[in-house]
């Protein structure tokens, strides 16, 4: 049961153009979403997040859009740079059953972004 899905395993864009990475979720209890970026041989690093009370959050070249009715979010990178080439994961936290103070992140399968110079 994949609660968070990233249906595009890879995306290739030209430097300077927009990159759009998509993510769908099935659990309507999710109320917060995060995007992580991962370079080879490194752990994922936090990029940007959004609460379900918003439909957009922007941080520099990165913008995340949330469509709650469609259970869909997207990450826009404008303009794309070669250094953005990495695997991007969307994730949603859910409370751990035994301790409401903790949470686990459910990750999508990732999208590999390649930005060509």
Partner 1 sequence: DTGVSQDPRHKITKRGQNVTFRCDPISEHNRLYWYRQTLGQGPEFLTYFQNEAQLEKSRLLSDRFSAERPKGSFSTLEIQRTEQGDSAMYLCASAKTGNYGYTFGSGTRLTVV
Q: How far is the CB of 21 from partner 1 (least distance, A)?
A: 13
Closest CA to 105 of 88, 89, 116: 89
Under the criterion CB under 8 A, does residue 32 sit at the interface with partner 1? yes
Under the criterion CB under 8 A, does residue 98 sit at the interface with partner 1? yes
Q: Are 21 and 113 in contact (CB under 8 A)?
A: yes
Under the criterion CB under 8 A, does residue 110 sit at the interface with partner 1? yes
Query: Applying CB under 8 A, which of residues 1, 28, 42, 117 lies at the interface with partner 1?
Result: 42
Instruction: Tell me whether strands 32-38 and 19-25 are parallel, antiparallel or unpaired.
Output: unpaired
Sign of CA pseudo-dihedral 26, 33, 65, 111:
negative
Which residues are near partner 1 by CB under 8 A? 4, 6, 9, 32, 34, 36, 41-46, 49, 89, 91, 93, 96-99, 101-110
């Amino acid at each position: 049961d994949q609660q968070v899905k990233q249906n595009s395993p890879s995306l290739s864009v030209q430097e300077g153009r927009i990159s759009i990475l998509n993510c769908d979720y099935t659990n309507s209890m999710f109320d917060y979403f995060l995007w992580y970026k991962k370079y080879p041989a490194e752990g994922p690093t936090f990029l940007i997040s959004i609460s379900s009370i918003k439909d957009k959050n922007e941080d520099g070249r990165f913008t995340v859009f949330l469509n709650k009715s469609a259970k869909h979010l997207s990450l826009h990178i404008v303009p794309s740079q070669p250094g953005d080439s990495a695997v991007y994961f969307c994730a949603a936290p859910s409370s751990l059953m035994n301790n409401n103070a903790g949470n686990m992140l459910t990750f999508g399968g990732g999208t590999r972004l390649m930005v060509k110079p």
